[in-house]
Structure formats: structure tokens, C-alpha cells
Amino acid sequence: MSDALVSDYRKILDLITNEVEHERRRQNGKFGKQADHTACIWAAILAEECGEVAQAAIAHDFDGFDTSALRMEAVQVAAVAFAIIEHCDDNEIKAPIA
């Protein structure tokens, strides 16, 4: 890959990463840290967000909507995935109580 392509890719990646970070801050402000979630709860949250991506994709493909909603939902999916990674790294995901 040429230096120019690498530079452009890094710029794009930086922009996307900044958007995901902004969304993480928004989620933390709205919901708090959510340290008591189990792995299953995190998976359900992520699946719900993925469902919203699917809805936006259907609206794009069949109703002629632009990609802005799809992109916004994808950023939210990435932010939830980051939250899961953060909690795994913090060892905060709780096992369900039997």
C-alpha cells in the first residue's frame, strides 16, 4: 500500500474512532458505567444494536433511504462492542448468580 493510501486510511480510521469514542461517552452519560452486566446482558445489548443496523439496512435497500442511519447504527454497535471490551479488560463482567 502506498504511503498516501496509508495516510488516508489512518485519517479515516481516526475519524471513525473519534466518532465511536464520542458515542461511548454519550452512552456512559445516558446509562452510566453498567458494571453489573453479565456477559449475556452485554450480548443482548449488542444483538439489539445489531438489529437496528439490520433495520437501517433494510430501509436503505428497500425504501431508498440514504446510508446515514445505517452508519449511525454501525457506530453505536462499535461503541457497545468497545464497552464490552472495556468491561472484559476491567474484569467487570459478572457471572450470573445461580
3-state SS, residue 38: strand
Beta bridge partners of 94: 38
Residue of 78 and 65 predicted with greater confidence: 78
pLDDT above 90 for 97: no
pLDDT of residue 1: 65
Measured CA to CA in angstroms, residue 34 lies from 7, 41, 54, 63, 94 at distances of: 36, 10, 25, 36, 11
pLDDT of residue 90: 83
Give the number of C-alpha atoms closer than 13 A to the C-alpha of residue 41, restricted to the C-beta side. 13
pLDDT of residue 3: 79
Q: Tell me: the pLDDT tens digits for 31-76?
A: 988 888 888 999 999 999 999 999 999 999 999 999 999 999 999 9
Question: What mean pLDDT, rounded, does the chain reach?
Answer: 90
Q: pTM (2 decimals)?
A: 0.84
The closest alpha carbon to 76, from 52, 92, 54, 57, belongs to 52
pLDDT above 70 for 23: yes
